[in-house]
Amino acid sequence: MSNEKILVTQSSMPPYEEYIEAIKPLWDSHWLTNMGMYHQELEEELKKYLDVPGLSLMVNGHMALEMAIQAFGFPEGAEVITTPFTFISTTHAIVRNRLEPVFCDVKLSDGTIDETKIEDLITEKTAAIVPVHVYGNVCNVEAIQKIADKYNLKVIYDAAHAFGVKYRGKGIGNYGDASIFSFHATKVYNTIEGGAVTFSDHKFYEKLYNLKNFGIRGEELVSDIGANAKMNEFCAIMGLCNLKHIDEAIAERKKRHACYMERLANVEGISFFEKKDEEDSNYGYFPILIDGSGEKTRDGVYEELKRHDIYARKYFYPITADQACFRNKYRNVKLHNARMLARQVLVLPLYEKLDMEKIDQIVKYI
Ligand code: T4K
């Protein structure tokens, strides 16, 4: 066995020459940011690829979520029902908007928000629901929409993990009032750092434009209060290059995903999240659940892999509600399933160039 470290993921990159060739025009134009031509081109290309009517590029997935929430203009202190079984960004984006997260438990079957528990959490202060398609597992979008319609709530999906995922033949970014995607280096599709908000209401494009560019609408006109969350041209070009190879990258991930599934299918104590029938996956992550009934616990497997220079990750442990910055701060809700999943989950290395023999080694150590 080689001593090379195997990390949980590895950024997809286009061939070196392809990127170098693509960025050359920047040395003529000197136009590096502020909604340049590559920014505009990438917005158009991503609208097509994600099959959405509206899209605004952002500097990263976190700012996409902050800006998407901010664009709705909820009153300070309004409540947002959300999942704690996610990356910390989801909760931060709510709190940094001066809104109050109300954590809802998740389903053991796929780790997404338990839609049957949402209604009990609604009060007169509830303004929105922020569910997460965690690992690209699709939330029960129909049930969530029904609740939102009944109580007049907005739904903003954190689809950071769900680039290219489709549900019932539609791009995942079509569900809810808005969705956000992350194009971080660790994602299925990356622009180095980057993200986007997708939506169907075209007025939303203007609101997000103001929020991401200081509200500037002319050399002497600032019409709104905004921040700076624009994607630069180097990142946009990386995105255009990576987009050319994305279908191939997902196909390579799919092979590796199938390989893990086959080899781990009958291992005692290990189970997997369920996928919906009409869900087209992006094979972004390979999470397994280790319930401790087999030879080793989750932490035991994590340590064993680490001894062999294989760095699996406990995404997402602890749940965000239990992190030092949020613990005991918000409404006390039973989060039994979320905590249980956080104790059991281990995300195994998965990326397009991962050697198949490495998968055999990983499985052997597990
Ligand atoms: N919502 C959700 C549900 C999210 O999961 C995220 C981000 C967001 C919102 C916010 O989106 P962004 O603002 O990030 O666009 C990573 C990522 O930084 C983060 O994007 C991601 N979720 C989260 C789940 O994972 P870390 O702290 O685990 O990353 P790090 O640096 O330990 O990297 C993990 C592995 O990735 C490394 O071992 C090797 C590989 N890697 C990493 C980097 C930085 C590369 O191959 N290339 C790289 O450049 O957070």
Residue 305 Cα to ligand 1 midpoint, Å, equals 20
- Would you kindly state where each structural domain of the chain is located, as residue ranges? 16-240, 246-365
Pairing mode, strands 178-182 and 154-158: parallel
Say what the pLDDT of residue 4 is: 86
What does the alpha-carbon distance between residue 251 and residue 186 come to, in Å, rounded to a whole number? Answer: 17
Q: Ligand 1 in contact with 147 (CB < 6 A)?
A: no
Per-residue pLDDT tens over the stretch 26-52: 999 999 999 999 999 999 999 999 999
What does the alpha-carbon distance between residue 322 and residue 52 come to, in Å, rounded to a whole number? Answer: 35
Q: Ligand 1 in contact with 148 (CB < 6 A)?
A: no
Instruction: Determine the atom of ligand 1 nearest the C-alpha atom of 183.
Output: 15
User: Given pLDDT bands bounded at 50, 70 and 90, which one contains residue 62?
Assistant: very high
Q: Ligand 1 in contact with 158 (CB < 6 A)?
A: yes
Residue 269 Cα to ligand 1 midpoint, Å, equals 28
Helices 246-264 and 233-244, axial angle in degrees (round to 10): 60
pTM of model > 0.75: yes
**Would you call 333 exposed, middle or buried from its count of C-beta atoms within 10 A (0-12, 13-18, 19+)?**
middle
Instruction: Provide the H-helix boundaries in 127-274.
Output: 141-151, 203-212, 233-244, 246-264
Highest mean pLDDT among 64-68, 201-205, 296-300: 64-68
Does position 220 have pLDDT exceeding 80, yes or no? yes
Q: Whose CA is nearest to atom 47 of ligand 1?
A: 11
In degrees to the nearest 10, what's the CA dihedral of 275, 286, 171, 68? 110
Residue 46 Cα distances to 42, 49, 155, 173, angstroms: 6, 5, 22, 11
Residue 311 Cα to ligand 1 midpoint, Å, equals 14
Per-residue pLDDT tens over the stretch 89-121: 999 999 999 999 999 999 999 999 999 999 999
Contact 157, 178 (CB under 8 A): yes
Count of all residues that appear for the chain in the document? 366
Q: Ligand 1 in contact with 89 (CB < 6 A)?
A: yes
Per-residue pLDDT tens over the stretch 138-192: 999 999 999 999 999 999 999 999 999 999 999 999 999 999 999 999 999 999 9
Residue 213 is classified by DSSP as B
Average pLDDT over residues 69-88: 98
Q: Ligand 1 in contact with 87 (CB < 6 A)?
A: yes
Residue 189 Cα to ligand 1 midpoint, Å, equals 12
Architecture of domain 246-365 in this structure: Alpha-Beta Complex (3.90)
Say what the pLDDT of residue 246 is: 98
The number of beta carbons lying within 10 Å of the beta carbon of residue 337 is 18
Residue 302 Cα to ligand 1 midpoint, Å, equals 18
Does position 245 have pLDDT exceeding 50, yes or no? yes
Mean pLDDT estimate for the chain: 97
Residue 14 Cα to ligand 1 midpoint, Å, equals 19
What does the alpha-carbon distance between residue 296 and residue 53 come to, in Å, rounded to a whole number? Answer: 48
Does position 336 have pLDDT exceeding 90, yes or no? yes
In degrees to the nearest 10, what's the CA dihedral of 227, 228, 229, 232? 170
How many Cα neighbours within 13 Å face the side chain of 211? 23
Q: Ligand 1 in contact with 184 (CB < 6 A)?
A: yes
What does the alpha-carbon distance between residue 193 and residue 236 come to, in Å, rounded to a whole number? Answer: 10
Architecture of domain 16-240 in this structure: 3-Layer(aba) Sandwich (3.40)
Contact 84, 338 (CB under 8 A): yes
In degrees to the nearest 10, what's the CA dihedral of 132, 72, 174, 95? -10
Q: Ligand 1 in contact with 195 (CB < 6 A)?
A: yes
Q: In which residue are the tokens 């390579």 written? A: 252
Residue 68 Cα to ligand 1 midpoint, Å, equals 20
